[in-house]
Amino acid sequence: MRIAALLLALLASLPLSGQYRCANSELWRGNPAQTPANSGAQSVLQREPIVIPVVVHVVWRSAPENITDAQVESQIEVLNEDFRALNAEATTVPAIFNPVLADMEIEFCLVATTRTQTNVSGIGTRFEGGLRQVCYNSLGGHDAIDPSQYLNIWVAGRTDGACGDAPLPGQTDPVPPAEDGVFIRPDCFGASGIAGPPYNLGRTTTHEIGHWLNLKHLWGEGFEDPLCQTDDMVADTPEQAYSYQDECPTHPSLSCGTADMFMNFMNYTNDACMALFTEGQKERAWAAISTYRPGLLGASCNPVSAFEPQQTLTDIRLFNNPADSWTALQLPEKDIFEIAIFDQLGRLVFIESPTGGGLFYIDTRSFISGIYYIKIRNEGKIHTKKLNIVR
């Protein structure tokens, strides 16, 4: 009986219209993303806002899909409002949710836009030989630019009617690095150009980047959660049954015994009715960065050339790792390097700019035991080494 009721409810909640917000519920079937073991509240203490460099890959078939630079830039503006609680809707959040409204302290900088004409229709959701075509030059799309250093957003047509999707880094079957990013349909991207209502305020990308930072839908697993059985693993978002697909409800809207935070970015509510992330979501997102995406900490906003996908320095070796009192880098014989070392919470613990190449010694006696990330930067190229201090 219970299963029958669940099936009926699931069927009732399936999108009936030609388009819908996000395809991630399908990706999660039988694949519950678990919250990572993380450093909890510690991870949100004492740090600067992170600035995530973004590469936008416009992969177009029909001319309108080749969206303008202005439309791309409008999306970056939306992200920089939504992830800093600077969006106008933040002021409309019901008083009951105000105490948990979070400034995510995450910003975005556009470092490159690539443009690729393709003859594959709906390439954003097409696979060949198990590979997501839009992510590969060889399959009609465009290669990612170093996903450990950049957020790659592919803007491309789809076959599933959804506005977007994005894998969670903590899902049980993570995607290959080459396909790690966010996928958005061109008419759901940005806040100008061909973006069309009700998805014309850039919130699909805000939502999908939420997934990319390991945030789940507020109702938990599946299309909806009518029996209130699954949760988003975040304590300060109320348990919720519905997805609010294409809706713009009024507060209070109740399910699972409490008022729903339908205006949270991780719902399917219309763009105009989305308003906030919470402190709990912020903690989960920041934990995901230090756990799964440490390369973003201290990443560079220097523009990268779309025609130079290899942005990594080679010929750098790290000696004496794990280290106690010292470590050393073998640097190529050229130019000036910037060497910055970050701890697991993203705090800068060392920075120096040695000139020339050769062996560069680093005194690590003041470092406490643990994992560190060494960023070596030269002419806009970055290489990351993982350093383990053991005593």
Identify the DSSP state of 165: E
Please, what is the minimum distance in Å from the beta carbon of residue 215 to Zn ion? 9
215 binds Zn ion (CB under 5 A): no
Stretch that binds Zn ion, among 19-27, 31-39, 80-88, 311-319 (CB under 5 A): 19-27
Active site residue 48: no
Residue with smaller CB distance to Zn ion, 156 or 374: 156
Q: Indicate the residue whose CB is closest to Zn ion.
A: 22
Instruction: Please classify residue 315 by burial: count the beta carbons closer than 10 Å to its beta carbon, then call 0-12 exposed, 13-18 middle and 19+ buried.
Output: exposed
Cα–Cα distance for residue pair 165/315, rounded to 1 Å: 37
**How far is residue 214 from each of residues 164, 233, 241, 363, measured CA to CA in Å?**
15, 10, 20, 35
Residue with smaller CB distance to Zn ion, 24 or 171: 24
User: How many Cβ atoms sit within 10 Å of the Cβ of residue 254?
Assistant: 12
Stretch that binds Zn ion, among 17-25, 104-112, 118-126, 316-324 (CB under 5 A): 17-25
> At how many degrees (to 10) do helices 203-212 and 69-82 cross?
60
Identify the DSSP state of 17: S
Please, what is the minimum distance in Å from the beta carbon of residue 23 to Zn ion? 8
**Geometric angle at alpha carbon 384, from 178 and 282, rounded to 5°:** 75
290 binds Zn ion (CB under 5 A): no
End-to-end CA distance of the chain: 59
24 binds Zn ion (CB under 5 A): yes
Can you spell out the DSSP letters for 308-374? Answer: -------S-EEES-SBSSEEEEEE-SSSB-EEEEEETT--EEEEE--BSSEEEEEE-TTSPSEEEEE
Residue with smaller CB distance to Zn ion, 242 or 367: 242
Cα–Cα distance for residue pair 282/386, rounded to 1 Å: 25
Residue with smaller CB distance to Zn ion, 187 or 232: 232
22 binds Zn ion (CB under 5 A): yes
Find residue 375's DSSP bridge partners.
340, 384
110 binds Zn ion (CB under 5 A): no
Please, what is the minimum distance in Å from the beta carbon of residue 22 to Zn ion? 3
Catalytic: which of 65, 89, 208, 283? 208
Stretch that binds Zn ion, among 24-32, 85-93, 130-138, 245-253 (CB under 5 A): 24-32
Please, what is the minimum distance in Å from the beta carbon of residue 30 to Zn ion? 17
Sole residue written with tokens 């050393």: 328
Stretch that binds Zn ion, among 23-31, 312-320, 321-329, 363-371 (CB under 5 A): 23-31
Please, what is the minimum distance in Å from the beta carbon of residue 223 to Zn ion? 11
Binding-residue total with Zn ion (CB under 5 A): 2
Residue with smaller CB distance to Zn ion, 24 or 384: 24
Residue with smaller CB distance to Zn ion, 62 or 159: 159
Please, what is the minimum distance in Å from the beta carbon of residue 78 to Zn ion? 17
CA 27, distance to chain mean position in Å, is 16
Active site residues: 208
Q: Which residues bind Zn ion (CB under 5 A)?
A: 22, 24
